[in-house]
């Protein structure tokens, strides 16, 4: 029996899709990359922006039209189950709270078959939900309150992934720094990282997104945890705006200076830090001065990656009814300015890497004759050779192309 899992959305969605896949593999299902070849279709969904919602509803309709058993999972089911049901009356809908029910669906769908097999990456959700009060976020409404996975559950998945030969473990959540705040044993992200990195085996851990206000309380211990050689020196901390006034309307719960403090403390401990952040352009009430403050912040902080989105008014959020909607033409103009600036900064950051010798974990095959990997800071680098995925090689940086480095294996 073959299963097709189509994943959309954030890293947490991808992590949960991997959990679904793991459940299927453990029960003998064979993964396939083609819906046409599959006996069971699974679609994981996202509702963060309106454009994605429309595309996914159309995708639900098309997968349903194949006549094959279909499972629709995730945020879209959480917040608009009836609309999904209208597109796929025969589909089985699973909310994020019902992930544990997936094995019973597999048992009903068909008998087990083969061995699970291996991959290089493993997405490992550590918690679901958050404690934020963002006025624009439909994911907060979809995911609900914070629910951290128990230590033993996470560590069990880590051990199983390492035993399967997976060498890049991606910890995912809506906010990884919140991990454990709802658990009685006072677990937190730094202690979880220490437990994970103490597991025998050769692997690297990538820690997912964390907000500034939830990072500050655990920052000192988190910095020590990040110094472990098994942890990528990669930090994803979203700022969303360079204006405190906009951040207040967003309900972000921190100031620009809090974001700067987190970045500075990390860079003091890890000079070669690879920094990713998020920006929303054109939030209601955003002025030219607010926009300029965001541009100035990017110039000052110089992140390696900026995940940039134009504001999207989502149903059920406070921001949808906020006054001061920015004209579409203005939003487009500001988005373009930010896009041009982030490309410039990224290119300049990559250019200074030329000549460095880096240890690189090979993880992907972008095309025949080349292999892509990540340095220990998580910088993407491509070598013109077909080396085994999962291997660690020494690479000299020869230059850059687009948003990645080019190198030669030494």
User: Residue 191 half-sphere exposure, CB side, CA atoms within 13 Å?
Assistant: 12
The domain locations on the chain are 2-109, 121-351, 357-409
Predicted local confidence at residue 116, as pLDDT: 39
Closest CA to 303 of 332, 269, 341: 341
Write the DSSP assignment of 357-402 as a string of letters.
Answer: EEEEEEEE--STT-EEEEETT--EEEESS-PPTT-EEEEEEEEEET
**C-beta separation of 375 from 353 below 8 A:** no
DSSP single-letter state for residue 101: G
* For residues 190-199, average pLDDT: 97
Q: What is d(CA 209, CA 235) in angstroms, rounded to the nearest whole number?
A: 7
Q: Which two tokens stand for residue 17?
A: 């899709």
- pTM of the predicted model, to two decimals? 0.77
Predicted local confidence at residue 48, as pLDDT: 75
pLDDT at 114 over 50: no
Neighbours of 194 (CB within 10 A): 13
Closest CA to 338 of 375, 378, 308, 317: 308
9 phi-psi bin (left φ>0, alpha ψ -120 to 50, beta other): left
Where does the pLDDT of residue 111 fall: very low under 50, low under 70, confident under 90, or very high at 90 and above? low
- Can you name the CATH fold of 121-351? pyruvate-formate lyase- activating enzyme (3.80.30)
What does the CA dihedral 207, 235, 203, 408 come to, rounded to 10 degrees?
150
The tens digit of pLDDT for each residue in 148-177 reads 999 999 999 999 999 888 999 999 999 999
Predicted local confidence at residue 79, as pLDDT: 84
Residue 139 host element (H or E): helix 138-143
pLDDT at 112 over 50: no
The verdict on domain 357-409 having CATH code 2.40.30.170 is no
Quote the CATH superfamily of domain 2-109: Methylthiotransferase, N-terminal domain (3.40.50.12160)
Confirm whether 121-351 and 357-409 share one CATH topology.
no
Closest CA to 209 of 12, 34, 400: 12
Where does the pLDDT of residue 110 fall: very low under 50, low under 70, confident under 90, or very high at 90 and above? low
DSSP single-letter state for residue 233: S
**C-beta separation of 290 from 245 below 8 A:** yes
């Amino acid at each position: 029996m073959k299963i097709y899992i189509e994943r959309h959305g954030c890293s947490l969605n991808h992590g949960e899709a991997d959990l679904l896949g793991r459940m299927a593999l453990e029960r003998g299902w064979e993964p396939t990359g083609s819906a046409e070849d599959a006996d069971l279709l699974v679609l994981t969904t996202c509702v963060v922006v309106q454009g994605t919602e429309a595309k996914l509803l159309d995708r639900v309709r098309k997968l349903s039209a194949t006549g094959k058993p279909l499972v629709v999972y995730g945020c879209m089911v959480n917040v608009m189950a009836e609309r999904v049901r209208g597109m796929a009356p025969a589909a089985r809908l699973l909310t994020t709270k019902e992930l544990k029910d997936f094995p019973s669906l597999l048992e009903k769908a068909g008998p087990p078959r083969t061995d699970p097999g291996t991959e290089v990456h493993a997405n490992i959700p550590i918690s679901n939900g958050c404690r934020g009060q963002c006025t624009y976020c439909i994911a907060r409404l979809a995911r609900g309150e914070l629910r951290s996975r128990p230590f033993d559950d996470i560590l069990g998945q880590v051990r199983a992934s390492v035993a399967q030969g997976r060498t890049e473990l991606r910890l995912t959540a809506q906010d990884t720094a919140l991990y454990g705040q709802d658990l009685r044993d006072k677990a937190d992200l730094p202690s979880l990282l220490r437990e994970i990195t103490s597991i025998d085996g050769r692997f690297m851990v990538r820690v997912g997104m964390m907000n500034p206000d939830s990072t500050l309380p655990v920052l000192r211990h988190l910095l020590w945890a990040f110094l472990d050689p098994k942890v990528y020196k990669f930090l994803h901390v979203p700022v969303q705006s360079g204006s405190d006034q906009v951040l207040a309307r967003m309900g972000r719960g921190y100031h620009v200076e809090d974001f700067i403090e987190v970045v500075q403390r990390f860079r003091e401990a890890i000079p070669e830090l690879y920094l990713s952040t998020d920006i929303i352009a054109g939030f209601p009430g955003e002025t030219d001065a607010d926009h300029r403050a965001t541009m100035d912040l990017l110039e000052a902080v110089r992140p390696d990656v900026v995940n940039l989105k134009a504001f999207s008014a989502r149903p059920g959020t406070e921001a949808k009814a906020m006054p001061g909607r920015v004209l579409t033409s203005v939003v487009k103009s500001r988005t373009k300015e930010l896009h041009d600036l982030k490309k410039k900064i990224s290119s300049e950051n990559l250019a200074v890497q030329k000549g460095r010798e880096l240890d690189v974990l090979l993880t992907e095959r972008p095309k025949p004759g080349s292999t892509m990997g990540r340095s220990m800071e998580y910088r993407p680098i491509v070598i013109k050779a077909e080396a085994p995925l999962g291997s660690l090689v020494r690479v000299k940086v020869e230059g850059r192309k687009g948003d990645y480095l080019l190198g030669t294996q030494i």
